[in-house]
Chains A and B, each alone.
Chain A
Amino acid sequence: MSAVTWSPTKSGQRYADVPEAEKRALFEEVKSDPRYPDFLYGCYECGICVSACPSARFYDFSPRVIAQALAREDVDRFYEILMEDIWNCAQCFSCVRCPRGNNPGGLVTLMREVAVRHGLERAQQALQGYSRVIYKIMLKGNQVSPDMLQPDFFPDWGPWVREFSRNMAAWRKAIPVDTLRNVTDAAWRTDDKTLRELYRIWFETGNMEVIREVDEGLYELLVEIMEEELEAGS
């Protein structure tokens, strides 16, 4: 992550070398999303969103500034937010208590999508540690699975993570739910046909191209397995 610190008084100065047209094009892409008018109506600067925002307590992050910058169409400020702030949002949507009806969390989502679609370096950095989750969801249809409970991944969760991991095979058999029993590499037993339908969705919606922008190696691995499965099922 960059060492640049947030400073509300220096808007527009940090990326002066980036052409205005480049910033404007990225902004217009966010603005042209059909959800944009549902997420932004204007800003009273009342600060209610900031008072509820967990990220505002721990980072130089402000949902109010995001709503303000976008409402003013301040592309310099927008670019700074796109490069420095968006990955700090906790996506809790506490900010939607906004009396004006804004959804700063939703605006962050749109900006993240644009950052990923363009393979911006900052997006790639932010998602570096996340590829195993993307791999899991794309291939297994579940985002979280028991075999992710590894001591090296969750050392701060205490000695119980070692217990979960060591006893995984027997403990998973000792769950009376039929779809969970003895399943360790997914959250529950999922039909092959269901997974193939999911793979079709990823291809048909352009989602695989999104993955390619953020991690080329992961994309190639996923495509090979998915195409083979789709062929086997057709």
Chain B
Amino acid sequence: MSEQMIPLTEIREKKARGVRPSPEEAPHPDLREELFELEARGELIVQRVPEPYVEVTTKFGRTKKVPIDHLWHHKSCGQCGHIPGYTTSILWLNRQFGIDYLDPTDQTSCTGWNYYASATSNAVAQLLVMCRNFAAAYETGYYPLIHCGTSYGHYKELREQLVHHKELRDQVRRVLDKLGKPLVVPEEIVHYSEWVHVMRHRIAERQVIDMRGITACVHPACHYYKIVAEDAIYDPDIYGGQRTATVTALLQALGITVADYSTWFDCCGFGFRHILVQRDFTRSFAVLRKIEVMKDEANPDMTVTHDTGCVTTLDKSQFAARAHQRRVGVPVLADSQVAALAMGAHPFRVLQLHWHSTDWRPLLEKLGIDWQKYWAEFEEDLAAIERGEKPGLTWEDAEQPIAMR
């Protein structure tokens, strides 16, 4: 077909204008209004977003409040279990900014991973796990910040079910009564990457590592922006407002070049059950649809994402693919790790890069970071622990940015 038959100029102009959606065009009513109505009827308590907060816009132009302070860190089992530098980086950033936060022991996984993988649960049990965690946060007075993309998406899905189905609410309330807990739902379900997003300019102000020579590809987490799509942050200045803005806006604020690639929308291949027991699917999808496409189209220095499953899948799937001469070798980091690294966090005490499989050394070398020096320091830490001289690393050991020493 010729250019005359397809109005390419008009299409390009339309795309360049950027999407500025209106809340009236949203396909579903604002769930928060329904939450407040239920609260007015005495059915539940809505935990308000505490001040200070930043207002951002979501996919259909609604405003979402993202709290800055007084945070209850709803941790992620996948992050804490297999990628601990993810969690350490989030909390390190909190500490650098003097945020009043809580790292609770009265918290379980969301159990969403198990639910999506195995179906050995049911809607009421899932809701109760969520509500028990939310009640635990409410009792402390801190506001939940959800670290895991799946917990975040799962909770949004469950919150909708709780609001729309009285029979589920009644069943949940009966069990919560037995546990002596109130039925509490936060006003906003907030993902940690949204906190990083609203903090990005403050992070950039304290940047000590020059990242302008770096090119990155972004992989957004399916459970962040696909389940209950209305709640994800969009910005007309990022991808013309047609894709979610979290992660990308942070990287741009840090001076990193974000390179687009054609399978941006695709899932990483995690698959829940698949990553554990049917990994041929996971590996194939991660390498063929994501890493190789990024490599061919953008050749990035790193891939940055914001979910546990995505970091795990994209990072770990690259090793086996090397045996088949696939085009792999892209280090995978979370946005919190990149933000912490930019502010001078220690690559091992904070970023815990030794838990990652795909080689991150070329990235650190390109950033001018002498990783051998910091690894030697970390090995000394480990030796001191082994000798019983210290029980483990504390925040005192990890607090100071490397450039300040």
A contacts, CB < 8 Å to B: 33-35, 38, 52, 54-55, 57-59, 87, 90-94, 96-97, 101, 109, 112-113, 115-116, 123, 126-127, 129-130, 133-134, 137, 141-146, 148-149, 154, 156-158, 160-161, 163-164, 167, 170-182, 186-191, 193-195, 197-198, 200-202, 204-207, 210-211, 214
**Given contacts A143-B77, A179-B75, is CB(A210)–CB(B178) below 8 Å?**
no
> Which are the 9 A-B pairs with shortest beta-carbon distances?
A158-B319, A112-B119, A141-B108, A173-B392, A187-B80, A92-B267, A129-B277, A205-B125, A91-B116
Establish whether residues A137 and B114, one from each chain, have CB atoms under 8 Å apart when the complex forms.
yes
Distance in angstroms between the alpha carbons of A22 and B132 in the assembled complex: 38
Establish whether residues B276 and A133, one from each chain, have CB atoms under 8 Å apart when the complex forms.
yes
Distance in angstroms between the alpha carbons of A186 and B76 in the assembled complex: 11
Distance in angstroms between the alpha carbons of A221 and B103 in the assembled complex: 31
Interface 9-residue window, one of B15-23, B43-51, B81-89, B238-246: B81-89
Distance in angstroms between the alpha carbons of A143 and B129 in the assembled complex: 13
Question: How would you classify the secondary structure of chain B's contact residues: helix, strand, loop or mixed?
Answer: helix
**Given contacts A116-B120, A210-B122, is CB(A101)–CB(B27) below 8 Å?**
yes
Q: Give the chain A neighbours of B82 by CB distance below 8 A.
A: 144, 146, 148-149
Q: Which of A54, A127, A148 is B285 in contact with, Cβ under 8 Å?
A: A54
- Report the minimal beta-carbon distance from A37 to chain B, rounded to whole angstroms: 10
- Report the minimal beta-carbon distance from A88 to chain B, rounded to whole angstroms: 8
Distance in angstroms between the alpha carbons of A233 and B118 in the assembled complex: 29
**Given contacts A96-B226, A200-B178, is CB(A142)–CB(B77) below 8 Å?**
yes
Name the CB-closest residue of A to B354. A171
Q: Give the chain A neighbours of B261 by CB distance below 8 A.
A: none
Q: Give the chain B neighbours of A179 by CB distance below 8 A.
A: 75, 80, 103-105
**Given contacts A144-B77, A187-B75, A194-B108, is CB(A158)–CB(B320) below 8 Å?**
yes
Given contacts A59-B281, A133-B113, A201-B128, 19 further A-B pairs with CB under 8 A are A54-B267, A101-B27, A113-B122, A130-B273, A134-B118, A142-B109, A157-B320, A157-B357, A160-B356, A171-B355, A174-B382, A174-B393, A175-B392, A179-B104, A181-B393, A187-B75, A187-B78, A187-B79, A207-B121
- Report the minimal beta-carbon distance from B236 to chain A, rounded to whole angstroms: 20
Provide a sorted-by-A list of 19 A–B residue pairs whose CB atoms are within 8 angstroms: A55-B271, A93-B226, A101-B27, A113-B122, A116-B119, A133-B113, A134-B118, A142-B108, A142-B109, A143-B113, A144-B109, A160-B356, A171-B355, A176-B88, A177-B91, A187-B109, A194-B105, A197-B179, A204-B175
CB 8 Å contact bits of B259-298 with A (1 = contact, 0 = none): 0000001110111111011010101110001000000000
**Given contacts A54-B266, A133-B114, A134-B120, is CB(A202)–CB(B105) below 8 Å?**
no
B386 close to chain A: CB less than 8 A: yes
B153 close to chain A: CB less than 8 A: yes
Q: Which of A137, A164, A188, A211 is B80 in contact with, Cβ under 8 Å?
A: A188
Q: Which of A94, A167, A211 is B226 in contact with, Cβ under 8 Å?
A: A94
Name the CB-closest residue of A to B153. A93
- Report the minimal beta-carbon distance from A232 to chain B, rounded to whole angstroms: 17
- Report the minimal beta-carbon distance from A204 to chain B, rounded to whole angstroms: 5
Q: How large is the interface on B (under 10, 10 to 19, 20 to 34, 35 or more residues)?
A: 35 or more
Distance in angstroms between the alpha carbons of A176 and B266 in the assembled complex: 35
Q: Which of B136, B272, B316, B348 is A91 in contact with, Cβ under 8 Å?
A: B272
Name the CB-closest residue of A to B164. A38
B349 close to chain A: CB less than 8 A: yes
Q: Give the chain B neighbours of A57 by CB distance below 8 A.
A: 285, 289
B385 close to chain A: CB less than 8 A: yes
**Given contacts A194-B108, A200-B178, A201-B132, is CB(A144)–CB(B273) below 8 Å?**
no
B363 close to chain A: CB less than 8 A: no
Residue of B27, B121, B123, B270 with most partner-chain A CB within 10 A: B121
Establish whether residues B121 and A210, one from each chain, have CB atoms under 8 Å apart when the complex forms.
yes
Q: Give the chain A neighbours of B178 by CB distance below 8 A.
A: 200, 204
Name the CB-closest residue of A to B127. A205
Name the CB-closest residue of B to A129. B277
B397 close to chain A: CB less than 8 A: yes
Name the CB-closest residue of B to A97. B226
Establish whether residues B117 and A113, one from each chain, have CB atoms under 8 Å apart when the complex forms.
no
Establish whether residues B392 and A160, one from each chain, have CB atoms under 8 Å apart when the complex forms.
no
Name the CB-closest residue of A to B221. A92
**Given contacts A130-B273, A143-B77, is CB(A109)–CB(B119) below 8 Å?**
yes
